[in-house]
Chain A
Amino acid sequence: MAELVPLADAVADLVRDGDTVALEGFTHLIPFAAGHEMLRQGRRGLTLVRMTPDLLYDQMIGFGAAERLVFSWGGNPGVGSLHRLRDAVEHGWPEPLDLEEHSHAGMAARYWAGASGLPFGVLRGYVGSDLTAHTRNVSTVTCPFTGEQLTAVRAFALDVAVVHAQQVDREGNVGLWGISGVQKEAVLCARRSLVTVEERVDQLDARTRVVLPSWVVDAVSVVPQGAHPSYAAGYSERDNGFYARWDAISRDRAPFVEWMRRHVLEAPDFGAHLRLLAAETAAVGSR
Chain B
Amino acid sequence: MTDPPEHAPAATAEATAATADEVMTVVAARELRGRRTCFVGIGLPSIAASLARQVHEPSLVLIYESGPIGARPTRAPLSIGDGELADTALDVVGVPEVFSYWLQGGRIDVGFLGAAQICRYGNINTTVIGPYRQPMVRLPGAGGAPEIAASAREVIVVARHTTRTFVNRLDFVTSIGHHEGGDSRKALGLPGDGPTAVITNLGVLRPEAESRELVLTAIHPGVTAAVVRERTGWPLRIATSLTETEPPTELELDTLRRLSAGRGTGSAG
A: residues with CB less than 8 A from B are 26-28, 51-52, 71-75, 77-81, 85-86, 89-90, 101-105, 108-109, 111-112, 123-131, 134, 148-149, 178-182, 184-185, 209-210, 231, 233, 237-245, 247, 281
Whether A184 touches B94, Cβ cut-off 8 Å, given contacts A78-B266, A108-B100, is yes
- Across chains A and B, the number of contacting residue pairs, with CB separation under 8 Å, is 199
Q: Which label, helix, strand, loop or mixed, suits the secondary structure of the B interface?
A: loop
- Kindly state the separation between the CA atoms of A196 and B179 in the bound complex, as whole angstroms: 45
Contact A244 B42 (CB under 8 A): no
Choose one: A105, A237, A245; the contact of B147 (CB below 8 Å): A105
- Kindly state the separation between the CA atoms of A173 and B251 in the bound complex, as whole angstroms: 50
Contact B188 A127 (CB under 8 A): yes
Choose one: A71, A77, A80; the contact of B79 (CB below 8 Å): A77
B: residues with CB less than 8 A from A are 1-2, 42-43, 65-68, 77-83, 85-87, 92, 94-96, 98-100, 103-104, 127, 132, 134-138, 140-147, 150-151, 172-176, 179, 185, 188-191, 264-269
Question: With a CB–CB cut-off of 8 A, which chain B residues contact A148?
Answer: 189
Residue of B nearest to A77 (CB): B79
Contact A85 B94 (CB under 8 A): no
- Kindly state the separation between the CA atoms of A210 and B67 in the bound complex, as whole angstroms: 13
Contact A123 B104 (CB under 8 A): yes
Question: With a CB–CB cut-off of 8 A, which chain B residues contact A74?
Answer: 140-141
Question: With a CB–CB cut-off of 8 A, which chain A residues contact B143?
Answer: 52, 72-73, 103-104
Contact B83 A129 (CB under 8 A): no
- Kindly state the separation between the CA atoms of A251 and B257 in the bound complex, as whole angstroms: 31
Contact A125 B138 (CB under 8 A): no
- Kindly state the separation between the CA atoms of A101 and B190 in the bound complex, as whole angstroms: 21
10 pairs, CB–CB < 8 Å, chain A vs chain B? A73-B141, A78-B264, A90-B134, A103-B143, A105-B99, A123-B99, A123-B100, A124-B147, A178-B86, A179-B68
- Kindly state the separation between the CA atoms of A212 and B83 in the bound complex, as whole angstroms: 22
Whether A209 touches B92, Cβ cut-off 8 Å, given contacts A26-B81, A238-B83, A241-B269, is yes
Contact A185 B96 (CB under 8 A): yes
- Kindly state the separation between the CA atoms of A51 and B96 in the bound complex, as whole angstroms: 11
Choose one: B1, B86, B132; the contact of A28 (CB below 8 Å): B86
Choose one: A85, A126, A134, A243; the contact of B146 (CB below 8 Å): A126
Question: With a CB–CB cut-off of 8 A, which chain A residues contact B92?
Answer: 178-180, 209
- Kindly state the separation between the CA atoms of A102 and B87 in the bound complex, as whole angstroms: 29
Contact A78 B147 (CB under 8 A): no
Residue of A nearest to B173 (CB): A130
Contact A127 B174 (CB under 8 A): no
Choose one: B1, B79, B103, B265; the contact of A27 (CB below 8 Å): B79
